[in-house]
Amino acid sequence: MAHSTQARATADQPPLARNRRELRESGYASRSVKQELRGNLIRRLESGEPLFTGIVGYDQTVLPQIENALLSGQDIVFLGERGQGKTRMARSLVALLDPWMPAISGCEINDDPFNPICRRCLDLVAEHGDQVEIDWIGRERRYGEKLATPDITIADLIGEVDPIKVAEGRYLSDELTIHYGLLPRTHRGIFVLNELPDLAERIQVGLLNVMEERDVQIRGYKVRLPIDVYVVASANPEDYTNRGRIITPLKDRFGSQIRTHDPRTIEHEMDIMEQERGTFADEAYLTVVPQYMREIVAEVTHLARRSPEISQRSGVSVRVSVANYENLVSSALKRAIRLREQQVAPRIADLMVLAQSTTGKIEVETVGDRDDEKIVEKLVQRAVLNVFNRHFSLHEFDELLVAFANGLRVDAGENLPSLDYVRQVAEVSGFSPAIRKLDGQGNPALIASAVEFVLEGLHLSKKLNKDRAPGQSKYRA
C-alpha cells in the first residue's frame, strides 16, 4: 500500500479515509495478499531487516526457502517434527502484511471496498456507491488458523446455511442465508492449517478449489466466492507421503514444500532454551546459570536425538531442552530458598530433575524392560563428560589429583550450602585455576557449581571415586 493513505497511517493509528470516496481520493490501490507479502518482503530485503525475529538456526536453511516462496507467490507447506517452529513462522508472516487494510464496514469477510465479492457488499455498493463506509482492519485480524482434526467439516472451513437467517424469512436460495466458514472469513489474509494430513480426505478434496481456482462453493448455491487468501499448512513428514494421509492432488497445489529441522548446533539449542524458557521476576534472588550447565542441558537433547534407545521416529523436540532448563533453574532456586541464599546457580546435583521433564517427551524403544529414568541418567552422565572434555584436559588437574591421592575428600550434595564448598576448597590450590576458567570466582553459588562440575567430570573420567548417599555424595581418590 505505497500511497498517501499508507503514509499517514502508523502501526497504532489507521489512515483517515472513512468511505469509498475518501479512500479513492487518498490514492489507495487494491492488491492481492501475495502481492502485499511480496512487496513488503522486498522492502525488508532492501533494508536488511530480518524476515523473522525469534527464529534460531534457520538462517541458511529454512528462511531462504520461505523468501523464495513469498517472492514466487507460492503457498507453503512446512514439513517437520513437533517443536521445530512451524506454527511460529506461519504466525510471523503476519508482520509482512500492511499495518492496516480497508474493508467495507460490517462485512463478515472483510470485502475490498473496490472489489466486493459477497452479496451483501455488492448490494451495498450498488445502492450507495462511494458513500459506503469502510473500516480499517489491523494486520493481526487478517490471520486465521485451524488445527486439523478428523471431526472438521466443510461447514467449518467453507460455510453452511444459517438456520436462524432462514427462520427470519429469507429463502434458501438467498445468498444472505450463508454462514461463512473460516476460509471466507480470512479473505484478504493468511490462513494456516496445522497438521494438514489429519483432515479427512473428503475435506481435503474441498480445499482443492481454494488452492487452485481460488474460490469456494457453498452447498448447492450457485455462488462463487473468489476469495483472496495465502495458504500455509504444516505436516509431519511421515504423514505427508503417498503412504500417509494426504491426497496427491492437494499436495500438488502447494507451491513450496519446506523442511524444518531440529537445532543443528549446541549453541543454537542454548539460544532457543534461553529465549523460550519461562521467566519470573524474583527480585529477592539473583539467578545465574553458568555456560557449562546450559551446555549440558543442550547436550542431553542432542545425545537423545542420536540414541538407539530412544525412538527417532517420534523425535526429540527442542521443548525437551526448554523444559529441562526450566526445571534445572527451579531446582537451584528451591535449594537457595531453603538455605536462605540470595545467589542462585544450578549444580550437577540439580541434573537429577531432568528425568521428570524428559521422560514424558520421549518414546523409549520397547526392547525388553527399559527404565526411562535410567536411560535419561545415562544421557546426563555422557553429556556432563562431553562438556567437561570440551572445557578441560585432564592434565590441568594433576595438582588437584595429587591432593586427592594424599587424602583429600570433598562433600557435595543438592542441599549443601554454597559456603561449605568455598570452605572445603579454600585450602586446595588445585581448584582455583578451574574455577577461574569457569568464571566462578567471587560468587559462592557459582563456586559451588564449578566445584561440582569439576568433581563430577573427574569422576566420570575415572579419576575419582564417588560415594553416594541420599541427598549427598563424597568424592575421594
Which three cell numbers, joined as nine digits, stand for 183?
Answer: 476460509
What pTM did the predictor assign? 0.86
Encode burial over 206-226: b for 16+ CB neighbours within 10 A, e otherwise. Answer: bbebbbeeeebbbeebebebe
Domain identity same for 375 and 290: yes
Helix-then-strand count for the chain, H and E: 21, 14
Domain identity same for 299 and 219: no
Phi then psi for residue 251, to 5 deg, are -55, -40
Instruction: DSSP letter for 117, please.
Output: -
Domain identity same for 241 and 270: no
Q: Is the per-residue pLDDT at 71 higher than 60?
A: yes
What is the Cα–Cα distance from 346 to 343, expressed in whole angstroms? 10
Q: Is the per-residue pLDDT at 6 higher than 60?
A: no
Domain identity same for 51 and 167: yes
What pLDDT sits at residue 167?
62
Q: Is the per-residue pLDDT at 175 higher than 70?
A: no
Of the candidates 259, 286, 320, which is a domain's last residue? Answer: 259
Domain identity same for 164 and 22: yes
Confidence of residue 85 (pLDDT cuts 50, 70, 90): very high
Domain identity same for 27 and 81: yes
Which three cell numbers, joined as nine digits, stand for 435?
Answer: 574455577
**Please, which residues bridge with residue 160 across strands?**
179
Q: Is the per-residue pLDDT at 22 higher than 80?
A: yes
Q: Residue 468 belongs to what domain range?
A: 266-476
What is the Cα–Cα distance from 158 to 211, expressed in whole angstroms? 13
Confidence of residue 119 (pLDDT cuts 50, 70, 90): confident
Instruction: DSSP letter for 165, please.
Output: H
Contacting residues for 182 by C-beta, under 8 A, at least 6 apart: 144, 146, 156, 157, 191
Q: What percent of the chain has pLDDT over 90?
A: 67
What pLDDT sits at residue 180?
86
Domain identity same for 130 and 243: yes
Query: How confident is the model over 216-222, as a mean pLDDT?
Result: 68
Q: Is the per-residue pLDDT at 2 higher than 70?
A: no
Q: Which helix (H) or strand (E) holds 248?
A: helix 248-253
Q: Is the per-residue pLDDT at 8 higher than 50?
A: no
What pLDDT sits at residue 433?
93
Q: Is the per-residue pLDDT at 268 higher than 80?
A: yes
Tens of pLDDT, residues 150-167 = 888 888 888 877 766 656
Q: Is the per-residue pLDDT at 468 higher than 70?
A: yes
What is the Cα–Cα distance from 451 to 445, expressed in whole angstroms? 10
Nearest to 430 by CA among 411, 449, 458: 458
Please state which of the ranges 7-16, 256-265, 267-276 shows the lowest mean pLDDT: 7-16
Q: Which amino acid is at 7?
A: A
Of the candidates 213, 228, 259, which is a domain's last residue? Answer: 259
Of the candidates 201, 226, 259, which is a domain's last residue? Answer: 259
Q: Is 73 left (phi over 0), alpha (psi -120 to 50) or beta?
A: left
Domain identity same for 254 and 279: no
Q: How many domains does the chain fold into?
A: 2
Query: How confident is the model over 295-311, as a mean pLDDT?
Result: 95
Q: Is the per-residue pLDDT at 190 higher than 90?
A: yes
What pLDDT sits at residue 240?
75
CA distances from 231 to 172, 440, 458 (A): 30, 51, 55
Written as one string, the DSSP assignment of 409-435 is -EEEETT--HHHHHHHHTT-GGGHHHH
Domain identity same for 118 and 8: yes
Q: Which helix (H) or strand (E) holds 472?
A: strand 472-476
Query: How confident is the model over 35-42, as a mean pLDDT?
Result: 97
Cβ proximity of 379 and 303 under 8 Å: yes
Tens of pLDDT, residues 324-338 = 999 999 999 999 999
Domain identity same for 167 and 66: yes
The CATH number assigned to the domain holding 38 equals: 3.40.50.300
What is the Cα–Cα distance from 228 to 34, expressed in whole angstroms? 9
Q: What percent of the chain has pLDDT over 70?
A: 91
Q: Which amino acid is at 330?
A: S
What is the Cα–Cα distance from 327 to 212, expressed in whole angstroms? 48
Domain identity same for 342 and 400: yes
Q: Is the per-residue pLDDT at 177 higher than 50?
A: yes
Query: How confident is the model over 122-147, as a mean pLDDT?
Result: 95
What pLDDT sits at residue 3?
44
Domain identity same for 232 and 273: no
Find the helix packing angle between 291-304 and 444-460, rounded to 10°.
Answer: 40
Instruction: DSSP letter for 277, please.
Output: S
Tens of pLDDT, residues 49-69 = 988 888 999 999 999 999 999
Q: What rounded mean pLDDT belongs to the chain?
A: 89
Cα-only R_g, the chain: 30
Please state which of the ranges 9-13, 226-230, 247-251 shows the lowest mean pLDDT: 9-13
Sign of CA dihedral 278, 280, 282, 283: positive
Query: How confident is the model over 131-158, as a mean pLDDT?
Result: 92
